[in-house]
Amino acid sequence: MSKVDPPKGRFYVLSPDMGAPGRGHGVELDNGDEIPWPTYMSEPPEMGGLASLRVVPKLRFDSQVGDMPLDLQGGFNGYWLVSQPLKDVMENIDAEGFAFAKCTFQLEDGSEGEPHYLCEVRRILDAIDENASSVKILDGYQNGKYYSLSGGAKLSFKAAEVADAHVFMNIHSGSRIYCDRVLRNALVEHGFGTVTNPRGVWIEDAADY
């Protein structure tokens, strides 16, 4: 008997929009060497993450490097950089799932830019249902295996493990972040992740990635 595809419209892969037009952002993290690695990259995990941050992250905009940041940008020592409006939506839907650290943001004229935050998802689950999913499983990784979405995947999740979480990482998925329909809908309703103007937010159905 062939495997039944997971139902669509339940869980999504949430990520920065890597195909956004323009030069990319021109934001530099000046004190990146003082920022701990995210929880999922730290060993032991409790030694990393924004909970162990002891400095204020210092951002600086350089127009020669790129444009002003979108509402969601990746690549800041393993963290996301998010705007105040995006933080507000995330925090309203799942305050326990996210951690934020407010940054200073110096513009080229020396003034302070709009509020921006380093962001990490601090909920890490073992939630992917291998038996109900179609996904490439690679062995020999830090946590024993890795779910690779390269070439496509159809992911199903364990309802009991996810419970009422609206956002989470999976212990065998590296930096990939998943959200449920509640968070996805809230983002779209506030203008994030739309087809016409994603504002840096990319949302794909995990059941047909």
SS3 labels along 167-198:
EEEECCCCCCEEEEHHHHHHHHHCCCCCCCCC
pLDDT category of residue 142 using cuts at 50, 70 and 90: confident
Instruction: With a cut of 60, say whether residue 154 has pLDDT above it.
Output: yes
**3 domain residue, yes or no:** no
Domain end position, chosen among 88, 121, 154 = 121
Mean per-residue pLDDT of the chain: 94
**Percentage of residues in the chain with pLDDT exceeding 70?**
99
**21 domain residue, yes or no:** no
**75 domain residue, yes or no:** yes
**Angstrom distances, CA of residue 120 to CA of 22, 51, 60, 99, 170:** 25, 10, 20, 5, 13
Q: How far apart are CA 67 and CA 84, in angstroms?
A: 18
Domain end position, chosen among 80, 101, 121 = 121
Mean pLDDT of 101-109: 98
**78 domain residue, yes or no:** yes
Domain end position, chosen among 73, 103, 121 = 121
**85 domain residue, yes or no:** yes
Q: How far apart are CA 42 and CA 113, in angstroms?
A: 31
**1 domain residue, yes or no:** no
pLDDT at position 1 is 47
Structural domain of 162:
11-16+124-208
Yes or no: say if 149 and 15 are a contact pair by the CB < 8 Å rule: no
* Nearest-10 crossing angle of helices 84-94, 181-189: 150
**2 domain residue, yes or no:** no
Question: pTM here?
Answer: 0.93
Shared domain for 89 and 158, answered yes or no, is no
**49 domain residue, yes or no:** yes
